[in-house]
Structure 1
């Protein structure tokens, strides 16, 4: 499997439509980066859940998923499932995030995600972060929209298990969902690991990137 390096990462942006989106889609990747780079700046934006139990869950969860990082989290109050109707507010939030950050990497939902909030946010991200590496994470769900992705971050068994543990510990409000369990998260990580010759992995969509093959 060919490996490409981003070089040194000093700042990462992570965005989600809902609390727990970032952790489900890229929690293992965040753990991997933050443990390898103490002091990494992580600017996180979540569009919904502000002022509720879900915001408190998200604050504790992302602090755990970003150990030793300079985490700056903003959780807004847009209504769940209604992002297209609040396009201007979402766009303003993403553009404000862009104005105060110059990330080496952006983690966002996939543009072809079947949930309208996820796909809408993904489209906004690529209009604001035009010259950045944007990786689109996947979120398993009832819609069955998992596909063939182009980029993989291998996860050690320890990181994969820690991701599952943190998801179960920090998001009790989601435990009633029939798919929200260890088998779902570790199973998908195992499948993505098979695809990239690793034990476990997270997979991402990469819409556009520039290669430097001359050096």
Structure 2
């Protein structure tokens, strides 16, 4: 009985956290659309979402993080990690893109809005800089997962970093340049046409 009560309480806490996160995000997106990113302050976001500043920072480290989300890129990386172990790195990437239908983020209700706002404000210096930081973190996570798939030391063996550099280059173009709404799969196809020989690097 105690386990059931604990599970119920945990479920309630999780739902409350999700509501708070949604409230902050919705308030911020509304303000971004109404008056622009740079003119929107954290104080305004917190006021509209009816949360304290310290609550905001429990969910988002910066205002810029609202345009990327806590799960940025995780959908593809999870699928890459879950690809059958017998696949080489490029085949595992193909598997991941197929499994996610080329979606970079969870296709939930707010995703399209966040992606549109991100594109709208990428020319804001702080947003652009934050994107570069996010992409650098993604590169390291990719290298770690590639090393795990190969069963090698990511420092001693250059292949994970080489793969991560190539894949992250694709991601960088997709995030920073793809203003036409091109999917991650479309960018991957373009890279595959140009860098087809790179598949041998994974062997």
Higher radius of gyration, 1 or 2 = 2
Please report the TM-score for the alignment, with normalisation by the length of structure 2: 0.28
TM-score relative to the length of structure 1 = 0.27
Q: Which has the higher relative contact order, 1 or 2, with Cα contacts under 8 A spaced 6 or more apart?
A: 1
